[in-house]
Structure 1
Amino acid sequence: MPALAASCPQGIDIYFENVGGKVLDAVLTQVNLNARIPLCGLIYTYNAQEPVTGPYNFSQILMQRVLLQGFIITDYVQKFDLAFKDISAWIQERKIKYHQEIVTGLENSPTAILKLFDGDKIGKLIVQVSEEP
């Protein structure tokens, strides 16, 4: 993925994994020494009809001494308040950048859900069921 290399010209130190498959493989080609990958999901595999291969660049975990560790959000419930405070500040300070795709109307939710599995989205997918109050 040339776009990934262009977006991360100094490599990747931390990557929050939710996808797996080709995305993880691309990230592994860009990881820096001692990179960290919290593994929260592998949506690429959720509806697979056959065994999923890869990652093909798995050797990079060894060569770059990457820490890959499972991450389940409920393990950190006691820290939610602190996280909301810190993350809100980081967003305000523009230290965290994010993308949202908003699909309008509950009637469009089935199509929106399919976007989770076909890669036809960028960032957080939101179904807006009504106008904001």
Structure 2
Amino acid sequence: MKYAVDKKEQYVIFTLQEEKLDSPLSPVLKSELLTVHAEGYKNLVLDMSQVKYADSSGLSALLVGHRAFSEDGGIFIIASPQEHVTKLIKISMLDKVMNVADSIENAADQIFMHEIDGNKEEEEEEN
């Protein structure tokens, strides 16, 4: 599986450099996402701009990433999905569960808003 990882201060951009996210690649993607999470990163942007096709096993990998990063108060965002992938996400109603952004910039904005909201909640709990 070809991919690139760009580690920022607040989040990681994981760019999938494959045209298909299907059963041969899904287990590898799950493993890589869990590895990034285990390294201590709370927030991840999955850049899917190069992915033209995904199937149910690909969606399963996305759900694993979503679950892992959401467990400890982080956020997992799918960025720049192409039309086929967007349709699949909507048909499966995963757009109601997962965060989807039309660009990496919008995903970064969502992360910063999530961080601000998380800090507010922590302050309220302390008071």
TM-score, reference length from structure 2: 0.32
TM-score, reference length from structure 1: 0.31
Bigger helix fraction = 2
The structure number with the bigger radius of gyration is: 1
Does 1 or 2 have the higher relative contact order (CA < 8 Å, sep 6+)?
2
